[in-house]
């Protein structure tokens, strides 16, 4: 850790300073230490710093409060070093480039794990904390597809869809990043501590909150803006109309990012957030990974194999599960076991849909229950 990081943590403790003012001050003066030494007449030259805030800053660094802030910074850096993490500032080169472009990027992130150039081509997968088997199965399908294609998966480590997305990415040997609404040393829910460790080995855990911060409800909307802000697009798998995933989707829209949503079955008395996003034109109706690849093709081109963003023309009368099977097949015979692994369908469901595809002249069965596309 550097003195710059220590000074930045100290500056963050000025009451009412906020993330936007902090960024403006450090950008103007070149370092947080220079901000602490600046006289009031220079501080008011910074956009967003009025006389009252300038007076607050100068009195803070000349009073006893600065000592408490210094102690806070030293404790945070010591705890972070013990954890094996680091502080990453918005002015550093390896700060997520997409996140820098949003309206209110965090001035610094607490990072446990590693960030990679490929993270600039990531996809957020989010949804309800109380998913149905339908939602879990499709999360597994899309997250594993991302892992196979080398697209990092970003989510929030919450119960439900978030956990399923991270788990599938890890099992598919792909990169995944968890953005949490607590300190790095307060993994929530507690049952995800093991998953968090696996994420860290081929990805990272990120937080803008100091170590020791509890997972209070007010933290999660701020967490959500990072999830959507550091990704090319957000896939909403399954959610209610007032779920946290809807906040993430709307933030993605505000940030100018793509939003994708899986259609949900109609359940009386239980309105679907994903269907609402599609109905309102905020999200693209998504049935297969191809729907995402085609939309993001120009931006994903640097990491995807040549030709992987070309869409196979689907038959208009295929249902969602038949389309998943078509995407799992190729020109070489594929076993039922491999199809179930790639789609998340049970063997019996896969065989039913394969039979339907055979009747439609799209799939051919070979000896040994092997299947290929015609």
Going along the chain from its start, the domains and CATH numbers come out as 3-76 (1.10.150.20), 113-300 (3.40.50.450), 320-373 (1.10.10.10)
Residue 312 has pLDDT above 50, yes or no: no
Q: For residues 160-176, give the mean pLDDT.
A: 96
pLDDT score of 9: 97
What strands lie across the sheet with 123-126, from one edge to the other? 86-89, 108-113, 203-207, 176-179, 153-155, 123-126, 233-236, 258-261, 284-285
Q: Are 174 and 101 in contact (CB under 8 A)?
A: no
What is the per-residue pLDDT across 251-283, written as a single tens digit (0 to 9) for each?
A: 999 999 999 999 998 888 889 999 999 999 999
d(CA 297, CA 265): 29
Nearest to 324 by CA among 181, 137, 123, 188: 137
Residue 287 has pLDDT above 70, yes or no: yes
For the chain, give the mean pLDDT.
91
Residue 138 has pLDDT above 90, yes or no: yes
What is the per-residue DSSP string for 26-75? Answer: HHHHSSHHHHHH--HHHHTTSTT--HHHHHHHHHHHHSTHHHHHHHHHHH
What is the per-residue pLDDT across 172-215, written as a single tens digit (0 to 9) for each?
A: 999 999 999 999 999 999 999 999 999 999 999 999 999 999 99
What is the per-residue pLDDT across 21-52, written as a single tens digit (0 to 9) for each?
A: 999 999 999 999 999 999 999 999 998 899 99
pLDDT score of 265: 87
Q: Which helix (H) or strand (E) holds 234?
A: strand 233-236
What strands lie across the sheet with 334-335, from one edge to the other? 334-335, 370-373, 363-366
d(CA 88, CA 110): 6
Tokens 């403006």 appear where? Answer: 24
pTM of the model: 0.82
Residue 80 has pLDDT above 60, yes or no: yes
What is the per-residue pLDDT across 52-62, written as a single tens digit (0 to 9) for each?
A: 999 999 999 98
Q: Are 123 and 154 in contact (CB under 8 A)?
A: yes
């Amino acid at each position: 850790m550097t003195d710059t990081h220590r000074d930045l943590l100290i500056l963050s403790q000025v009451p009412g300073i906020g993330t936007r003012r902090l960024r403006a001050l450090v950008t103007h003066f070149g370092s947080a230490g220079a901000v602490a030494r600046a006289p009031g007449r220079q501080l008011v030259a910074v956009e967003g710093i009025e006389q009252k805030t300038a007076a607050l800053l100068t009195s803070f660094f000349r009073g006893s409060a600065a000592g408490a802030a210094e102690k806070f910074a030293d404790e945070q850096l010591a705890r972070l070093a013990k954890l094996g993490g680091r502080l990453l500032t918005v002015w550093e080169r390896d700060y997520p480039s997409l996140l820098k472009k949003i309206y209110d990027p965090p001035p610094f992130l607490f990072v446990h794990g590693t960030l990679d150039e490929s993270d600039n081509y990531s996809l957020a997968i989010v949804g309800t904390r109380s998913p149905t088997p339908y939602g879990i199965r499709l999360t597994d399908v899309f997250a594993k597809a991302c892992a196979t294609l080398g697209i990092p998966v970003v989510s929030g480590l919450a119960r439900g869809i978030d956990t399923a997305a991270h788990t599938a990415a890890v099992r598919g040997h792909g990169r995944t990043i968890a953005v949490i609404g607590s300190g790095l040393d307060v993994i929530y829910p507690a049952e995800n501590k093991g998953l968090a460790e696996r994420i860290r080995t081929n990805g990272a855990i990120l937080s803008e909150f100091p170590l020791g911060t509890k997972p209070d409800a007010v933290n999660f909307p701020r967490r959500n803006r990072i999830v959507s802000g550091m990704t090319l697009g957000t896939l909403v798998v399954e959610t209610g109309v007032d779920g946290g995933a809807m906040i993430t989707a709307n933030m993605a829209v505000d940030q100018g990012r793509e939003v994708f949503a899986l259609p949900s079955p109609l359940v009386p008395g239980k309105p679907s957030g994903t269907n609402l996003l599609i109905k309102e034109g905020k999200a693209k109706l998504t049935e297969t990974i191809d729907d995402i690849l085609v939309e993001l093709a120009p931006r994903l081109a640097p990491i995807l194999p040549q030709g992987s963003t070309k869409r196979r023309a689907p038959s208009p009368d295929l249902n969602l599960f038949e389309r998943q099977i078509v995407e799992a097949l190729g020109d070489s015979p594929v076993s039922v076991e491999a199809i179930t692994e790639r789609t998340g369908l049970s063997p019996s469901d896969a065989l039913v849909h394969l039979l339907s595809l055979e009747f439609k002249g799209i799939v051919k069965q070979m000896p040994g229950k092997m299947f290929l596309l015609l």
